[in-house]
Chains A and B, each alone.
Chain A
Amino acid sequence: MTTASLLERARAAAAAVPDPEIPAITLEDLGILREVRAEGGRVVVMLTPTYTGCPATQVIQQDVRDALAAAGIAQPDVRITLSPPWTTDWITDEGRRKLREYGIAPPAHAASGPAAAVVRFVPGAAGARPRCPRCGSGDTERISEYGSTPCKALYRCVACREPFDYFKPY
């Protein structure tokens, strides 16, 4: 097999691995699969963590090793790189669509830069509000800045009264 087709197969296998916390989306959708390359006869997969303390990172590494093994790629080197840091802007359009279908509102705006370090407390004014993934209403409010995982906040839809997870712009 040529290196190119081997790498293509490795990339496809790694890209299709579901996120352990949000299995509706893949590593590719989430934008944390940075690179698949050959290095000294071995396949090297570069992943980047969402948050430094994300407990899923090690699970993801193992899942990628397993997926590559299942695709017949022996001894892959699955590495973590911090740079450039992941932001929610790396989530693909396909990933956003899948999140919505799964019941998680995707980030409503681009990840904030240095200038957005605010301490002002203004109820309901914490940036653009997400649309309800169930009924599509834009009339939503934040219940909790932190939710079931570090990357999510808890919101509620004022229109349909349903609570929902929101993938925070980050």
Chain B
Amino acid sequence: MSANPAHVEYVTRLGDNALVLGQRLAEWCGHGPALEEDLALTNVSLDLIGQARLLLTHAGRLEGAGRDEDALAYFRDEPQFRNWTLVELPNGVAKHDDYAVTITRNFLFAAIQVPLWEALAGSADTELAQIAAKSVKEARSHLRHAGEWLVRFGDGTPESHRRAQAALDRLWPYTNELWAADEVERAAAQAGIGVVVADLKPAWDATVDAALAQATLSRPADSAFVSTGKQGVHSEHLGYLLAEMQTLARQHPGARW
């Protein structure tokens, strides 16, 4: 099967978002602030990597060039990755992991994934529709987990509130990319494969505003900055993440164990 390039690209973006955030969250494995949270984040990571496997396998088949999930995950270079910049940002600030940043990012991400998967469950691409129907259940549980912590942090101690608000202020500009539809998204939506992202905005706003109100956090002002990860122009952080994720596969291509 060889689908049109926008279709392949659209599915690749979905797969890369899941893969890159899954890899980021896996960095917490063995380093979680509490054992329960270590388990939680590695389980969320596992869900995302499971989704990425299905999506990249599908993207590879659509492309029709013989690339499987491993070829796409391990043997593409940074500019070929199509994830939102939001998901590649570090788990904290500079080299200091910060759970408030991790949780806030998970929250902002899950808040769009839920309505996105709900909408894609009706995609004209039936394989994508099946992956979406499966993934939405997982996204709901991720949203619940992150939402509970966001409220605890925001409505917690002065220090946890300060850090949650700082995390929100820091991540907020990167959410602009989620709503900045480009040619790929327009073509996919036109074909009934993808969604018009603007249609998801009211649901995202409602989820975010409700949680922020409970968390006593302020919604940051909107800005004009738009990141460009989904077009392959990334922040300085993705390369390091890929280096760690890809090194083993590249040193031992085709290895099985």
A residues in contact (CB < 8 Å) with B: 49, 51-55, 82-85, 87, 112, 114, 116-121, 143-147, 150, 154, 170
- B143 proximity list for chain A (CB < 8 A): 117, 119
Contact with B39, one of A51, A112, A116, A144 (Cβ below 8 angstroms): A144
The answer to whether B140 touches A116 (Cβ under 8 A) is yes
Given the interface contacts A52-B51, A119-B148, A119-B151, does A147 sit within 8 Å of B211 by beta carbon?
A: no
Contact B51 A53 (CB under 8 A): yes
Q: With A52-B53, A143-B36, A146-B40 as given contacts, are A82 and B48 in contact (CB-CB < 8 Å)?
A: no
**Known: A114-B118, A144-B36. Contact between A84 and B214, CB under 8 A?**
no
Main secondary structure of the interface of B (DSSP, over half): helix
**Min distance, Cβ B147 to any Cβ of chain A, angstroms:** 3
Q: Check A85–B134 contact: CB distance below 8 A.
A: yes
Please report the C-alpha to C-alpha distance between residue A150 and residue B131 in the assembled complex, in whole angstroms: 18
Chain B positions 39-86 with a Cβ under 8 Å from a chain A Cβ: 39-40, 43, 46-51, 53-54
In the bound complex, do residue A150 and residue B137 qualify as a contact, i.e. CB atoms below 8 Å apart?
A: no
Chain B contacts to A: CB under 8 angstroms: 35-36, 39-40, 43, 46-51, 53-54, 114, 118, 130-131, 133-138, 140-141, 143-145, 147-148, 150-152, 207, 210-211, 214
Query: Which residues on A sit within 8 Å (CB–CB) of B137?
Result: 85, 87, 170
A-B contacts counted at CB < 8 A amount to 89
In the assembled complex, the Cα of A53 lies from the Cα of B48 at a distance in Å of 7
Chain B residue with Cβ nearest A119? B147
A144 touches B47 (CB 8 A): no
Interface of A is mostly: loop
* Cβ distance A24 to chain B, nearest Cβ, rounded Å: 22
Structural contact, A147 and B39, CB atoms closer than 8 A: yes
Instruction: Please judge, given known A-B contacts A85-B137, A119-B144, A154-B36, whether A51 and B46 are in contact too, CB under 8 Å.
Output: yes
Known interface pairs A121-B214, A146-B40; A82-B152 also in contact (CB < 8 Å) = no
Interface centre among A49, A52, A118, A145 (most CB of B within 10 A): A52
CA distance A150 to B47 in the complex (A): 8
B214 to nearest A CB, angstroms? 6
Query: Could you tell me if A82 and B133 are in contact, using CB atoms closer than 8 angstroms?
Result: yes
| CA A54 to CA B214, docked complex, whole Å | 33
Contact B151 A53 (CB under 8 A): no
**Chain A residues with CB below 8 A from B54, complex form:** 52, 82
* Nearest CB of B to A71, in Å: 28
Across-interface contacts of B207 in A (CB, < 8 A): 117, 119
- List chain A residues, Cβ under 8 A from B51: 52-53
Report the Cα distance A170→B134, complex, angstroms.
Answer: 11
User: What separation, in Å, do the CA atoms of A23 and B72 have in the docked complex?
Assistant: 35
Find A146's partner among B43, B53, B114, B210 (CB 8 Å cutoff). B43
Closest residue on chain B to residue A111 by CB atoms: B137
Among residues of A, the one whose C-beta sits closest to the C-beta of B139 is A117
Chain B CB within 10 A, most for which of A51, A54, A146: A146
* Complex Cα gap A114–B132 (Å): 13
How far is it, in angstroms, between the C-alpha of A52 and the C-alpha of B69 when the chains are bound?
14
Determine which of B135, B147, B152 lies in contact with A118 in the assembled complex, contact meaning CB atoms within 8 Å. B147
Complex Cα spacing A51 to B131, Å: 11
Residues of chain A contacted by B150 (CB below 8 angstroms): 119
The contact sample of 29 A-B pairs, CB cut-off 8 A, is A49-B50, A51-B138, A52-B50, A52-B51, A53-B46, A53-B47, A53-B49, A53-B50, A54-B46, A82-B133, A83-B130, A83-B133, A84-B133, A114-B118, A114-B136, A114-B140, A116-B140, A119-B143, A119-B148, A119-B210, A119-B211, A119-B214, A121-B151, A144-B39, A145-B36, A145-B145, A150-B46, A154-B36, A170-B141
Task: Determine which residue in A55, A117, A121, A144 has the highest number of CB atoms from chain B within 10 A of its CB, and name it.
Answer: A117
